[in-house]
């Protein structure tokens, strides 16, 4: 008999790990803790029993990525994706209960890969500035390496109301910002930039600026070298922030300045 996705009960929000609990330890420790939480979050890759099935699942995911990247999420029919994957439509329903679910599964698996990659790369780095620079350069580079995924993720998924419907994907995207805010707080403690500013506002400038560059690259393949341009804009912003601190300090020493 068929094992349909829709037969499974909605996995009642694994209550064991605390998904929302705001990590509020010393920033140094909580950074590792946060990364660990995030890297483990999306673990249900495929609970299929047979190898054959895992291959099919992969085929479908790859096909979906290609099709979504080419035509967006709403236009392609389920049948198109099934055809691209080389399986009958009904088989696709054995794996994913709807197009929406399929469209959120793909980004999730890549996002998990990114976080785990960053976790490895950041291992020896302790400086907040360096950590941020690495984080964001790697984001840009990851988008360049996985251009089809990037197109799907940056243009269709993030930001989209649709995100609100997919608990798990929503968390993962929030995590992205959460890491950055944490690092900005760390930098405040270290005196790398002003501690008087709203860290969320600072995060908005960093994420917003970089995303804008990534999105422009996705749409127009300009600037040519995304990795370089991404690193450049982040460095520029970080320098601006460092300068902002310097000005604040000298203003405090010589109040009647200007």
Partner DNA sequence: GGACAAGTCCGATAAAAACTCGGATTGCGT
Partner DNA sequence: ACGCAATCCGAGTTTTTATCGGACTTGTCC
Residue 207 binds which one of DNA, a second copy, none, with CB within 5 to 8 A depending on kind?
a second copy
Q: Are 164 and 104 in contact (CB under 8 A)?
A: no
Long-range contacts at 117-120 (CB < 8 A, ≥ 24 apart): 117/142, 118/35, 119/35, 119/36, 119/39
Least distance to DNA, CB of residue 158, Å:
22
Choices 88-96, 137-145, 153-161, 247-255; region in contact with DNA by CB under 7 A = 88-96
- Nearer Cβ to a second copy, position 186 or 211? 211
Distances (CA, A) of 62 to 7, 69, 94, 112, 175: 24, 11, 16, 16, 25
Distances (CA, A) of 54 to 23, 95, 138, 257: 35, 10, 29, 67
Which one of 23, 45, 78, 242 is in contact with DNA (CB under 7 A)? 78
- Nearer Cβ to DNA, position 44 or 77? 77
Nearest to 195 by CA among 124, 128, 257, 255: 128
- Nearer Cβ to DNA, position 98 or 225? 98
For residue 201, state whether it binds DNA (rule: CB under 7 A): no
Phi, psi of 193 (to 5 degrees): -150, 175
For residue 79, state whether it binds DNA (rule: CB under 7 A): yes
For residue 50, state whether it binds DNA (rule: CB under 7 A): yes
Choices 6-14, 15-23, 115-123, 235-243; region in contact with a second copy by CB under 8 A = 235-243
- Nearer Cβ to a second copy, position 25 or 247? 247
Q: Considering only residues 38 through 77, tell me which ones interact with a second copy, judged by CB under 8 A.
A: 71-74
- Nearer Cβ to a second copy, position 19 or 72? 72
Least distance to a second copy, CB of residue 144, Å:
16
Least distance to a second copy, CB of residue 3, Å:
27
Question: For binding to a second copy (CB under 8 A), which residues are involved?
Answer: 71-74, 100, 151, 154-156, 159-162, 164, 197, 200-201, 203-205, 207-213, 215-216, 219, 229, 232-233, 236-237, 239-241, 243-244, 247
């Amino acid at each position: 008999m068929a094992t349909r996705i829709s037969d499974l009960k909605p996995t009642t929000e694994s209550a064991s790990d605390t998904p929302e609990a705001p990590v509020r330890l010393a920033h140094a420790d909580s950074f590792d803790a946060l990364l660990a939480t995030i890297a483990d979050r999306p673990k249900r890759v495929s609970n299929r029993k047979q190898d054959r099935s895992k291959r099919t699942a992969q085929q479908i995911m790859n096909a979906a990525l290609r099709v979504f990247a080419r035509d967006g999420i709403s236009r392609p029919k389920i049948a198109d994706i099934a055809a691209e994957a080389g399986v009958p439509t009904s088989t696709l329903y054995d794996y994913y209960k709807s197009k929406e679910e399929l469209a959120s599964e793909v980004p999730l698996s890549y996002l998990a890969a990114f976080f785990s990659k960053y976790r490895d790369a950041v291992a020896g780095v302790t400086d907040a500035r360096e950590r941020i620079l690495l984080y964001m350069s790697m984001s840009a580079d990851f988008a360049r390496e996985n251009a089809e995924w990037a197109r799907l993720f940056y243009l269709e998924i993030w930001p989209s109301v649709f995100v609100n419907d997919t608990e798990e994907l929503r968390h993962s995207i929030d995590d992205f910002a959460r890491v950055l805010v944490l690092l900005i707080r760390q930098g405040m403690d270290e005196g790398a930039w002003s501690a008087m500013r709203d860290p969320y506002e600072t995060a908005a400038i960093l994420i917003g600026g970089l995303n804008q560059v990534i999105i422009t690259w996705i749409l127009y393949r300009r600037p040519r070298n995304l990795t370089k341009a991404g690193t450049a804009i982040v460095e520029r912003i970080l320098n601006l922030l460092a300068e902002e601190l310097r000005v604040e300090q000298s203003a405090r020493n010589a109040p009647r300045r200007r």
